[in-house]
Copies of this chain bind each other. A is one copy, B any other.
Amino acid sequence: MLSYPGFSFDILHHDPANRARVGRLSTPHGAIETPNYIFCGTKAALKALTPAQAREAGADIILSNTYHLLLQPGEDLVQRMGGLHKFMQWDGPMLTDSGGFQVFSLGHGSVADEIKGRNKSFDNTALLEISEQGAVFRSHIDGRKVHLSPERAMQIQRALGADLLMQFDECTPYHTTRDYTARSMEMSIRWGDRSLAEFARTHDGTQAVYGIVQGGVYEDLRRESAQYTADRSFFGTAIGGCLGGTDEEMHGVVAWSVPHIHPSRPVHFLGIGRMRDVFRFVRLGIDTFDCVIPTRLARHGNAFLQGAPGETINLKNARFRNDPEPLDPRNDIPASRDFSKAYIHHLFRSNEILGLQILAQHNVATLCRMMREIREAIKDGTLDELEQQWIA
């Protein structure tokens, strides 16, 4: 059995009306309160935010992607530069994924993108082979063949040095059969054990690993996969893979999984993070979320806004040309409090990069404030009222 002496997860409050909970997740780089939002620094950088600006916005924890860093600059270089925390100059808790999601998106591509709302951005890459051993793909950067396996994924994450790691898994898309999904889930279980064994081989107490619940849209497969993660000495549990094509299916997948996972471990929901998703899945017991949308939407002129229909407004819209009001002074940072919407509109009309910098920080700040208010509401038993204030 692995133990994680430098890590802990304490559940401080339960919402009596549902599975929502407030927790404290401690790592060697500090502790965060949960529920919380993990912001994506895909290629070892938050899009258009310095670490200081992310901190100012209230971010507690970020992630980076194994797939991207493996290809550029390479995990060996990050390790020689002192690890990901030092490389990025982020001194707080950090998570890396295992690379599985991106690698299998190469093969299963468009459907996984559709389900997860991701852009297809791997057009020049190809998944060459999936076998029990692992996956072989072609780098979209330089065309070389790259092997990824449970062992390699853990070695890369070890070298990168984040606090929270993910087991290697196969991420199946929506259109696969039940049979393929079942066999894939069973392989992810064997890959989970290989991930744990490789992790244990070099375990030094500085990192902790999550198991991942797979099983597509099939209740029995999700239950089996969830029970597997609970039976092994993972530090945390992540819910991944195909979540279905609709909000209802996604809800079902999580509702089937959560009763069978380990009840006292932190639960991460991979790649999901619209405001309404956060409210919905906090109630099912999700502790942390991650999604690229806070910074991606910023690049397209969208600002998350409490109570806005569709959750966002688009600052490129002509109706903001004369709007002297700031985005939302409740965030209490200059990006949200001081600049007028008219100014941000002007910046996007003028292709000034400052526009997306302002929106990226505003979006992070908005989601951080929402998470803080969610934690308070769970303690106070007022989650329903809070959701009505946030979700139109």
Contact = CB atoms under 8 A, between A and B. Distances in A.
A77 B318 CA distance: 13
A352 B324 CA distance: 31
A339 B89 CA distance: 7
Interface string A346-390: 110110111111100000000000000000000000000000000
A73 interface: yes
A5 interface: no
Interface in A77-106: 77, 80-82, 87-89
A223 to B, nearest CB: 40
A45 B352 contact: yes
A187 to B, nearest CB: 31
Nearest to A47: B353
A321 B73 CA distance: 8
**Interface residue tally on A, bucketed by range:** 35 or more
Contacts of A238: none
A96 to B, nearest CB: 16
A295 to B, nearest CB: 10
Nearest to A299: B353
Protomer copies: 2
A343 interface: yes
A252 interface: no
A52 interface: yes
B357 A72 contact: no
Interface in A24-64: 43-52
A100 B46 CA distance: 40
Contacts of A48: 353-354, 357
Contacts of A89: 334, 338-339, 343
The 8 closest A-B pairs by CB, nearest first: A45-B352, A45-B354, A43-B350, A73-B346, A48-B353, A89-B338, A81-B342, A87-B343
Interface of A: 43-52, 68, 72-73, 77, 80-82, 87-89, 321-322, 324, 334-335, 338-340, 342-343, 345-347, 349-350, 352-358
